[in-house]
Chains A and B, each alone.
Chain A
Amino acid sequence: MAAAASAAACFVFTPWAFVGDARSGLAWTFAGRWLIALPILASILAAVLARGGYATARLRVACAAFGLFWLFAYGFFPIGQPSLALGFGAAVVGAALVWQGARALAAAGAFKADRWVATTTVSIFAAVVLFVLFPVVQALLAAFFDRTGAFDPMLAFQRFTARDIWATDCFYSDRSCGVVLNSFLLGALAGLLSTLLGLAFALLAQRGGLKNTRIFDALSILPIITPPFVIAMALVVLFGRTGVITTLLDTYFFIPRSRWIYGLPGVLIAQVLSQTPLSYMILRGALQGIAPSLEEAAQTLRASRWRTFSTVTWPLLRPAVAASILLGFVESLADFGNPVVLGGSFEVLSTKIYFAVAGAQNDPGRAAILALILLAMTLSAFWTQSMWLGKQSFVTVTGKGDNGLPPPLPKNVRRAALGVVIPWVILTIVLYGVIAVGGFVTDIGRGAMTPTFKHFMTGFSIESTNSGLFFSGSAWDSFFVTVGVAALAAPITTLIGILTAYVLSRHNFIGREAFEFVTMLAFAIPGTVIGVAYIAAFNTPPIEIAGTGLILVICFVFRNMPVGVRAGLAALSQIDKSLDEASTTLGAGTGTTVWRVILPLLKHAIVATLVFSFVHAMTAVSAIVFLVTARYNMATAYIVNRVDAGEYPLAIAYSSLLILFMLLVVVSIQLLVGERKLGRRGAVASPVTLGAR
């Protein structure tokens, strides 16, 4: 009732369209568009029928469904009229219809007649369909249409079989390979190498007998707060043609300068650097999940250290290793920042998509076919993972205290691990050293090391004027937009993600699998694909939000939502269902149970999601480069542009500031939330966040 009333009020009084014309829905109705009023009439009808309870439930579902259908159908095809971008009034009417439809579904007996669950699930589902499924499908369909909008499957076939996509020339000639092979090669190598390194780190941290492994944890948090291309920038500064180390080698060892860093080697190193920590976290978690008593049992059965490791530890670790390789592969495919800075003539799918849209070509059809291939590759990687690994996860530590000491590593394994890890740690420290120093010297990329504040002055100067502070630096705008968008997106992401996790873990209903699929879909879609999709779908009515800050917020919410879902699911699996049931038998409804029991227990997952979605929003590049405008520029896009223009010092200065800012945010939130105090049961593993950037 209240839903229909507020919808009607908005229909009468607030602007229907998104921009421009401020006429309300009612005004439009009398201006010759009487069909615009059908959704609100459906809403009112459903509200009237609500008195009928169970008897009219199905009818109300049909009413709401028709209303929603008409809202969008008329938005797309406004018979004989120019189309309108749906705005506030339309949004409220749509939301009211979703709300009414969900309640009616519950009244008809769906969702076990639980109205709270029905409303939450249907609302999230509707939002995900609107902001993930719809744009992606629409963008991918562009592959089958030519520039004039005519359906042309032959053209799609030509695009698909283009030489620069599938060529294998690099194996037997000087010419380069197609993007698919390049991407696959890069992904496989990056997955493999980062897993090997991550494994070495994890083994040393858990079994290496090292006194202090804090440096590992510190190094593992860095990539999370580092925008993906920053490592690439630092690599150029060190190893580029005029790079610091290149110059040293040239001067003292007479090794000629070259551009080897641009291309596969450079991109690979950069990706491995940024992915190793993720592998480390996965594998360390898996190692912690192996009950030491198993290894002790092997030892009491006279197995040597090496035998214990190779017959017990390693087989139990294998599923996690495979998972890590696959995730490394997917991350590499989705990565845009590193290849765009370091790729040179080495093209991969994500950069190719970008240049198909942003460059001189501007060929959405081509971008769509490339996006389709990229999506197929990532989805099949995820599919492989769930088919192959779904059944073999070994969690051997149960809730009960399972004491015992893990055995130390076999000597040769330990030596090999140290041999890999130590140079890597040094390289990482040097790279971050470059970023820390680079902003404060004239031009580190050319070896000009005179200390200066010039770059910070250009980007971040603040002038004190009569009317207060004036942020005159050229980077301030993008910085404020970034922080604002990230701060706005983070709580929404968390809310949707955690509620989705709750519904998925605690409730069973018809369509649950579909719900799970669409909510996790965003996880598998590379950022470039999302970017292309958003620009294609939201550039025209009925939903025309491209170029606004809103599209940035929405983009982040639905890209990072799976992180919240995963964190929530992990935490919820630690919370016994009897707690929900206890609450219910004590007379609390689902809403009360969620609010008073579930959310407080999920505090740490919630905070983790808040932090991660904030940080991800600040460091994302791939989807964002398509969506930023001069008015709404983001820090990462700004930096990439500076790199493009060769202004490395300013880019480095900005990057170091971003990293510092995020470090500050992460640390202060950690201090604010403090330690958990729920006893043994409350120990919720901190979520490992993995997402295609």
Chain B
Amino acid sequence: MTRAASVRFVNVSKLYGGVRAVNDVSFEVEAGTLVTLLGPSGCGKTTTLRLVAGLERASSGKIFIGDEDVTALGAAERDVSMVFQSYALFPHMNVLENVMYGPLASGVKQADAQILAREKLALLGLSGFESRLPSELSGGQQQRVAVARAIVLEPRVLLFDEPLSNLDARLRRKVRDEIRELQQRLGLTVLYVTHDQQEALAVSDKVIVMDNAVIAQEGAPEELYERPCSRFLADFIGESNLIDGIFHFEGGRTMFVANGVSIPVGDVRVPPDARTIALRPDRIRLRKAASSLIEVRRRVYLGHAWEYTLAAPFGEILTITPIREEALAIGQKVELDIDAGAAIPLMR
């Protein structure tokens, strides 16, 4: 599909009464890529998506789809489709009628609309379900009907609002991969809202993390995971132990000292005012050391790993150790070994 277009926000704000739901946000979604808007609930991500759809009007700023300024256009006039969280399938129409709705509303003839609809239903593996009512379909099937209905008009931009939240965990992974595959195959521009960081990392070309109505950080998934730029991001994407202290250089080794405990953090580039490190639980190895100030407080069996909660003078630390390693007893004193480059220095 060559109709895919970019989306560009230029200093867009949205106010509800006096409350800023979206505050001076600028970003770009390149044509043919999948970008996720990620953030905790109430961060403004869904409002941003609805601004693209035209279901909300920007209070200030400009929105472009391709080269066209669509800021003043209503939802019906924008070449954008949306897959809703609840799917929003019309309960009184069968699957075929649901998918034909868009073409018919934009003046396509009945017969042609039917051809278009059947084509998209086949693409999503829904042939044979044409005359079912939405209530007679499983959650996963309803989801695919919603996708078929959204892509039947070959929109320039396709929007997903938390499309997996109504599916069970097992199905979620499958549908997630299907959406990504469809996007790649058809070369669609997709903007995708989710609050699940794993989902975001798994499907995106680029992730935009929002917090408190502004963009906290944007970048490729691995960039966000490896180099979060704030405490919020280190905590929000993946799990992190956040430890306050100071960096200390000792004979060519970098140490991080927190409450009298020195942690060797290997080779990292330390910004001058860094006062915090983030440690990923799976990047910490434990070594028995009788004289250590850190000891095992809790042990949880996860199947593929042990999860230890350690008590340290500066607080608790969570670690994950592969199951093949020897189990540590509660009360065992341990020292931390940090993988090279795994400690992430942060501003406080």
Contact = CB atoms under 8 A, between A and B. Distances in A.
Contact of A589 (B76, B82, B84, B150): B76
A588 B88 contact: no
B249 to A, nearest CB: 57
Contact of A680 (B57, B85, B135): B135
A578 B146 CA distance: 12
A678 B105 contact: no
A48 interface: no
Contacts of A52: none
A581 B106 contact: no
A162 interface: no
Contact of B55 (A581, A586, A677): A581
A677 B136 CA distance: 11
Given A585-B82, A588-B105, A680-B135, A579 B76 contact: no
A592 B105 contact: yes
A679 B75 contact: no
Interface stretch (A203-211, A596-604, A657-665): A596-604
Among B84, B86, B91, max chain A CB count under 10 A is at: B91
A578 B92 contact: no
Interface string A122-140: 0000000000000000000
Interface string A570-594: 0000001011011111111100100
B76 A584 contact: yes
Given A586-B153, A587-B153, A679 B135 contact: yes
A586 B101 contact: yes
Nearest to A599: B92
Given A587-B102, A588-B76, A582 B91 contact: no
A433 interface: no
A53 interface: no
Nearest to B84: A578
Contact of A587 (B90, B92, B106): B106
B86 A576 contact: yes
Contacts of B234: none
Contact of A582 (B78, B82, B92, B133): B82
Contacts of B106: 586-587
B55 A584 contact: yes
Contacts of B136: 679
B332 to A, nearest CB: 42
Nearest to B108: A587
B315 interface: no
A681 interface: yes
Contacts of A680: 135
Contacts of A678: 91-92, 133, 135
Contacts of A588: 76, 101, 105
Given A596-B101, A678-B92, A679-B91, A585 B133 contact: no
B91 A681 contact: yes
B135 A587 contact: no
Contacts of B53: 581, 585
Contacts of B45: none
A578 B78 CA distance: 17
B134 A679 contact: yes
Nearest to B81: A585
B70 to A, nearest CB: 13
B92 A581 contact: no
A114 B77 CA distance: 12
B58 to A, nearest CB: 13
A681 B76 CA distance: 26
Contacts of B134: 679
A568 to B, nearest CB: 16
A679 B94 CA distance: 12
Interface in A44-95: none
Contacts of A600: 92
B342 interface: no
B8 interface: no
A601 B92 contact: yes
A581 B102 contact: no
B94 to A, nearest CB: 11
A682 interface: yes
A578 B91 contact: no
B74 interface: yes
B80 interface: yes
A601 B91 CA distance: 8
A112 B134 CA distance: 32
Contacts of A682: 91-92, 135
A675 to B, nearest CB: 14
A585 B55 contact: yes
Among B55, B81, B105, B149, max chain A CB count under 10 A is at: B105
A585 to B, nearest CB: 5
A43 to B, nearest CB: 28
Nearest to A587: B106
B67 to A, nearest CB: 21
A579 B81 CA distance: 13
Contacts of A596: 101, 105
Interface string B171-207: 0000000000000000000000000000000000000
Interface in A96-113: 112-113
Given A601-B92, A680-B135, A682-B91, A586 B102 contact: yes
A579 B75 contact: no
Contacts of A585: 53-55, 75-76, 78, 80-82, 150
Contact of A583 (B92, B101, B135, B153): B101
Interface in B88-120: 88-92, 101-102, 105-106
B101 A576 contact: no
Contacts of A681: 91, 135
A587 B105 contact: yes
A100 B84 CA distance: 36
Contacts of B85: 578
Contacts of A589: 76
Among B92, B101, B149, max chain A CB count under 10 A is at: B92
B132 to A, nearest CB: 11
Contact of A581 (B75, B78, B105, B149): B75
A597 B76 CA distance: 15
Interface in B39-69: 53-55, 57
A582 B135 contact: no
Contacts of B102: 586-587
B120 to A, nearest CB: 13
Contacts of B92: 600-601, 603, 678, 682
A579 B90 contact: yes
A114 B343 CA distance: 55
A603 B84 CA distance: 24
A681 B142 CA distance: 14
B182 to A, nearest CB: 18
Interface string B147-174: 0011001000000000000000000000
Nearest to A601: B92
A388 B190 CA distance: 49
Contacts of B84: 578, 581-582
A113 B54 CA distance: 13
B105 A583 contact: yes
Interface string A667-682: 0000000000111111
Interface string A230-253: 000000000000000000000000
A582 B105 contact: no
Contacts of B133: 677-679
Given A576-B86, A578-B85, A679-B133, A584 B75 contact: yes
B88 A579 contact: yes
Contacts of B105: 583, 586-588, 592, 596
A588 B108 CA distance: 12
A581 B53 CA distance: 9
9 contacts: A581-B82, A581-B84, A585-B55, A586-B101, A596-B101, A601-B90, A679-B134, A680-B135, A681-B135
Per CB-CB distance, the 4 closest pairs between chain A and chain B, nearest first, are: A679-B135, A586-B102, A578-B88, A588-B105
